[in-house]
Amino acid sequence: MTTDHSARDRSEAGMTSAPLLRVRHVSKNFGAVQALVDVDLDVHAHEVVAIVGDNAAGKSTLARVISGSYQPDGGTVEVAGENVLPLSTKSARSHGIATVFQDLALADNLDVTANIFLGQELPSTRRFDHGLLDEQRMESLARDYLRQLNSRIASPRTPLSQLSAGQRQCVAIARTLVGEPQIIVLDEPTSSLSVTQTAEVLNHISRLRSMGLGVVLISHSLADVRSVADRIEVLRHGRNNGSFSATETGYEDIIAAITGAPSAHRIPR
Ligand X SMILES: Nc1ncnc2c1ncn2[C@@H]1O[C@H](COP(=O)(O)OP(=O)(O)OP(=O)(O)O)[C@@H](O)[C@H]1O
- Contact positions toward ligand X, by CB under 6 A? 30, 33, 35, 53, 55-61
Closest CB to ligand X among 11 and 61?
Answer: 61
Closest CB to ligand X among 15 and 223?
Answer: 223
Q: Give the nearest distance from C-beta 52 to ligand X in angstroms.
A: 9
Q: Give the nearest distance from C-beta 60 to ligand X in angstroms.
A: 3
Q: Give the nearest distance from C-beta 142 to ligand X in angstroms.
A: 31
- Count of CB atoms situated within 10 Å of the CB of 231: 24
Q: Give the nearest distance from C-beta 195 to ligand X in angstroms.
A: 21
Closest CB to ligand X among 7 and 193?
Answer: 193
Closest CB to ligand X among 207 and 237?
Answer: 237
78: Cβ–Cβ under 8 A, 6 or more apart, which residues? 21, 22, 23, 24, 84
Q: Give the nearest distance from C-beta 20 to ligand X in angstroms.
A: 23
Closest CB to ligand X among 59 and 231?
Answer: 59
* Maximum separation of any 2 CA atoms in the chain, in Å: 68
Estimate the crossing angle of helix 195-210 against helix 165-176, to 10 degrees. Answer: 20
Closest CB to ligand X among 69 and 148?
Answer: 69
The torsion angle over the Cα atoms of residues 97, 103, 106 and 109, rounded to 10 degrees, is -170
Closest CB to ligand X among 73 and 134?
Answer: 73
Q: Where do the H-state alpha helices sit in the chain?
A: 7-12, 59-66, 89-94, 112-116, 135-148, 165-176, 195-210, 222-228, 251-259
Which sign, positive or negative, has the C-alpha torsion 92, 93, 96, 99?
A: positive
Q: Give the nearest distance from C-beta 188 to ligand X in angstroms.
A: 8
Measured in residues, the chain has a length of 269
Q: Give the nearest distance from C-beta 70 to ligand X in angstroms.
A: 8
Q: What are the φ/ψ torsions at residue 112 (nearest 5 degrees)?
A: -60, -45
